[in-house]
Amino acid sequence: MTLTVPVDTGLARYDIRIGAGLLRDPASWEGMPPSRHAVIVTNVTIAPLWAQTLAQMLTSLHRQVSVLELPDGEAHKDWPALNSIFDHLLQSGCDRQTVLYALGGGVVGDMTGFAAGCYMRGIPFVQVPTTLLAQVDSSVGGKTAINHRLGKNMIGLFNQPIRVVCDLDTLRTLPQRELVAGLAEVIKYGPIADPVFFDWIERELDALLARDVQALAHAVQRSCEIKAQVVGQDEREGGVRAILNFGHTFGHAIETALGYGQWLHGEAVGCGMLMATDLSMQLGLVGPQHLERMRDVLVRCGLPTRAPDLGVAAYLSLMGRDKKAQAGEIRFVVLDGWGRAAVRPAPDECVSEVIQRAVTR
Ligand code: NAD
Ligand code: GLY
């Protein structure tokens, strides 16, 4: 069965299709522009697993389907890899009607979306996410970017896909560590938007960890519904969309300090969510039972809960470069009660205590 979640930002409308076997299902691709060229942008790890299946299906829509394999990893979410997409498009004679298909995780999706937004001033692209993290988060909402040595996702643009196809079968080949990192972004949606969903995650966590397809389908569907609702209100992150960055202010500091790829993005976000829940508790916005529940669920997943000891000053300096910072003041996504989030500054002493507790827990 295919589940459909619509996204409507006012300027862009598209569907997220969720189900098993969707790569092979012609219905997933109905309505795609029947252009001459299609390019599947993927990486060296995913290509041997899934590119052929997608390419076979797309040959019924496009006369020329090519596959571009990027190097794998967060460290390659950079200018050289992005340029290699432009090289391929120009060398293959791709025109303005060419459709890009991003087959992969958030790294491939973010770079393909960026390339599609720039090539000939914009060509259509489809997200075909193959990690849990990409299915529940990065493929939806149109944020695209590459990293800079001085900060994550610092160079990019908003560019919505024309469709998102989440084939749950692709998750079968995902390493367990990656699945677990994706669960961190699923967990995120509970405390910021839907406490009932968090209750469900607590109950179904073993099924999710065992990749039960029904459990995964619900997790992807509910996550996408929440994300679509938020993005529909605030595509460009002028306000409410920032709540989707719960855990990311601390998490990005960890990723940037350790070097991209040491901790997976979802791992850093998981640890960051615990720190942000602790901060919310210090500010009197949630109770100790909420911190306990967050810690328990992360521990059951096997996600790291102890933050790397970078020193408080390094955390503060890295977080000062966060995109939410205003006039040098760091702003945090905190829980404004369990199931609601808000963005606000916090006293340095509180933040320092949170960091100190996180590196010693
Ligand atoms: P990733 O893209 O690096 O993929 C993780 C690993 O899994 C890679 O080694 C990849 O080759 C491999 N892989 C992917 N699918 C596979 C499959 N089906 N089978 C086997 N291996 C597979 O990482 P990710 O966690 O998907 O994404 C993280 C990235 O997403 C970060 O760069 C982050 O900044 C970005 N992100 C973007 C947004 C957004 O809104 N645009 C949101 C969240 C995260
Ligand atoms: N992952 C945060 C966002 O898409 O806004």
Average predicted confidence (pLDDT) for the chain: 96
Does the C-beta of 45 come closer than 6 Å to ligand 1?
yes
pLDDT tens digits, residue range 110-140? 999 999 999 999 999 999 999 999 999 999 9
Ligand 1: distance of its center to the CA of 145 in Å?
A: 13
At 339, phi and psi to the nearest 5?
110, 5
pLDDT for residue 328 = 77
pLDDT for residue 60 = 94
Amino acid letter at 277? T
pLDDT of 149 strictly over 90: no
Which residue among 9, 136, 143, 153 has the greatest number of ligand 2 atoms within 8 angstroms of its CB, and so is best to mutate? 143
Structure tokens at 111: 């770079």
Specify the residue with its C-alpha closest to ligand 2, atom 2.
244
pLDDT of 150 strictly over 90: no
Count Cβ atoms below 10 Å from residue 324 Cβ, excluding itself.
17
The active-site residue, picked from 37, 147, 245, 267, is 245
pLDDT for residue 322 = 76
pLDDT of 78 strictly over 90: yes
The active-site residue, picked from 143, 152, 188, 290, is 143
User: Cα(27)–Cα(2) distance, rounded to whole angstroms?
Assistant: 9
Instruction: Note the ligand closest to the C-alpha atom of 51.
Output: 1
3-state secondary structure of 297: helix
pLDDT tens digits, residue range 258-282? 987 789 999 999 999 999 999 999 9
Taking alpha carbons only, the member of 146, 140, 98 closest to residue 123 is: 98
Record the pTM: 0.96
pLDDT band at 361 (very low <50, low <70, confident <90, very high): confident
Ligand 2: distance of its center to the CA of 140 in Å?
A: 8
User: Cα(73)–Cα(310) distance, rounded to whole angstroms?
Assistant: 23
3-state secondary structure of 157: strand
User: Cα(49)–Cα(331) distance, rounded to whole angstroms?
Assistant: 41
The active-site residue, picked from 76, 248, 293, 331, is 248
pLDDT for residue 287 = 98
Spell out the residues 6+ positions from residue 204 whose beta carbon is closer than 8 angstroms to its own: 212, 215, 218, 219
User: Cα(29)–Cα(60) distance, rounded to whole angstroms?
Assistant: 10
The active-site residue, picked from 252, 290, 293, 331, is 252
Structure tokens at 104: 């992969």
pLDDT of 91 strictly over 90: yes
Which residue among 137, 226, 243 has the greatest number of ligand 2 atoms within 8 angstroms of its CB, and so is best to mutate? 137
Q: Strand 37-43 and strand 64-70: pairing?
A: parallel
pLDDT for residue 256 = 87
pLDDT of 219 strictly over 80: yes
pLDDT for residue 167 = 98
User: Cα(256)–Cα(319) distance, rounded to whole angstroms?
Assistant: 10
pLDDT tens digits, residue range 318-349? 998 777 777 778 999 999 999 999 999 999 99
Give the C-alpha distances (Å, rounded to integers) separating 274 from 28, 262, 336, 356: 37, 19, 15, 13
pLDDT for residue 124 = 98
Q: Which residues line ligand 2 (CB under 6 A)?
A: 137, 141, 143, 241, 244-245
User: Cα(230)–Cα(66) distance, rounded to whole angstroms?
Assistant: 35
3-state secondary structure of 147: strand
Active site residue 267: no
Instruction: Note the ligand closest to the C-alpha atom of 47.
Output: 1
User: Cα(313)–Cα(332) distance, rounded to whole angstroms?
Assistant: 17
Taking alpha carbons only, the member of 339, 64, 46 closest to residue 55 is: 64
pLDDT for residue 152 = 80
Active site residue 188: no
Give the C-alpha distances (Å, rounded to integers) separating 50 from 26, 104, 113, 310: 16, 9, 19, 39
Domains of the chain: 3-173 (3.40.50.1970), 176-360 (1.20.1090.10)
